[in-house]
Copies of this chain bind each other. A is one copy, B any other.
């Protein structure tokens, strides 16, 4: 995990440890549902967690802080302390854009880390999942369209990739699948798609769908299938915690809003007035509250309204999906899939390789793919 000591990374580590120890159930874990039973996914006991991070705070201390906020049950931490600390020792220094380390050296260092980790634990595959803080959008650059141009620029010491893409490069180049759970650039570049295909490695993303957008992708098809005309869909997102603070920066929030806004027109088949706001409210801590107001029109032009509020804990929603993605992508890699994995659209706000945004169709695609993953295994 890139950003392994963040809220999502910490919750994923604690949760996977609790699952292995039989201290919690599989609520929230999609791959524990019946359609995935025969997909040949690695068992939870076969997973080893590790990561990179810039933050030094011990993982157990981070977990304690999350327990204080009600994200985790505090009673889990004592029995799992050894396991959590073992993961903590596998978290290595991350890449940052505000350092002297040239981009190419960062890539090479992380690549070495990944290879050594794979070898040390005798792993059949290492899936790199980015759960670090959202980056501001990266402007296009002439080095992005082809791998050759990108390699030239990196060799020349040019600063052409954000950290998320340096990790993606390192992962793909080391033969490790890459998953972007954030709206950052990550592997979403022609040059890196080329690298993924060259190395025969799959990648997936981007931006985990865990709250307002999830609900939107479940509800919007209802309006479409009932021929109801959506006139406006206004969304307000109040976010606390580190995520909210990062998104208070105009650049980063732009990445997020772009990603969130994409689905509606794709589902409805027409453009809708859909103002979307993200607001940082420190008071909410690790929780987020979204309010959506939908104005729609029925037969004979009659105007109606729907509103919803979603009060969710982002880490509790995202962490099990990180485990799901690791299992699914590992299996895909073993089965020889490479390049973008559109069948994982179910998990993302801005899926690669497909325009499908309807949650139910995404789930059907995922289940079909899982069936194929299991064939002959």
Contact = CB atoms under 8 A, between A and B. Distances in A.
A70 B73 CA distance: 11
* Identical subunits present: 4
Interface string A123-164: 000000000000000000000000000000000000000000
B27 A297 contact: yes
A113 to B, nearest CB: 27
Contact of A300 (B15, B283, B311): B15
Nearest to A226: B30
Interface string A259-283: 0000000000000010101011111
Most buried by B among A72, A305, A319: A305
A92 interface: no
A300 B24 contact: yes
B221 A219 contact: no
A48 interface: no
A44 interface: no
B279 A284 contact: no
Nearest to A319: B299
Contact of A313 (B229, B279, B280, B304): B304
Contacts of A14: 300
Given A236-B291, A282-B273, A299-B317, A227 B32 contact: yes
Contacts of A305: 309, 311
B71 A33 contact: no
A165 interface: no
A273 to B, nearest CB: 6
Contacts of A283: 231-232, 273, 295
A95 to B, nearest CB: 28
B238 A306 contact: no
B295 A293 contact: no
B306 A306 contact: no
A376 interface: no
B222 A301 contact: no
Most buried by B among A11, A28, A229: A28
Interface string A50-77: 0000000000000000000011110010
A-B interface, 9 closest residue pairs, ranked by CB to CB distance from nearest: A360-B360, A28-B299, A302-B316, A232-B283, A218-B222, A308-B308, A298-B316, A231-B283, A299-B320
